[in-house]
Amino acid sequence: MMEKRLKNLRKTMDREVFAQLKFTAEHKNRIRDKIKQETHNDAEILIAIMQLLVQEKTGYQLVSLLQSRGILNFKENEGSLYVILHSLELKGVLKSSWQEDDAKFYQLNKQGRKLLKKLEKQPLSNHLSFKEILEG
C-alpha cells in the first residue's frame, strides 16, 4: 500500500516537477564556485572589511576589493555586504557620507580603528559571529 503510494508520488514528481527543472550551465558554475570557494569565518571577513575601510570606500568598491583578497562570501550575494556595513555604522565604528550620484562612502572612525587594532592583536575563535565580535 505504502509502496504503491510512494511510487505514485515519484511518478507525479517526475511528470510535474522535475520536468520543469533544468540543470543549466549557470547552476553548474554556481556549484563549482561554491566548491572552489574558500570559506572565511565571520572574524576574518570583518577584519578584512575594516582593514579596507581605513580609507573611504563605497560598498561596490569594497566588494571587488574583498574578492581580490580571495573572500568570495559576497559573490552572487553582494547585497548582504550592506547588512554588515549598516550594522557596523550603527555600532558607531564607521562614519559615512553621501556623495554625488547617491554614492555612500564608508570609513572607519576613531573608535573603529581602535576596534580593528584590538581584533588584529588577539586571535579570534573561529566560531564567533559578527554580533558576538561587535558586542564583545
Who's near 125: CB < 8 A, 6+ residues apart? 43
Q: Which of 40, 52, 56, 58 binds other proteins (CB under 8 A)?
A: 58
Residue (69 or 86) nearer to other proteins, CB:
86
Phi, psi of 13, rounded to the nearest 5 degrees: -60, -45
Q: Which three cell numbers stand for residue 59?
A: 560598498
Among 40, 5, 13, 35, smallest CA distance to 126 is for: 40
Interface with other proteins in residues 90-109 (CB under 8 A): 90, 92, 96-98, 101-104
Interface with other proteins in residues 62-91 (CB under 8 A): 75-80, 82-83, 86-87, 89-90
Rounded to the nearest whole angstrom, what is the least distance from the CB of residue 41 to other proteins in the complex? 18
Q: Are 130 and 42 in contact (CB under 8 A)?
A: yes
List of residues contacting other proteins (CB under 8 A): 58-60, 75-80, 82-83, 86-87, 89-90, 92, 96-98, 101-104
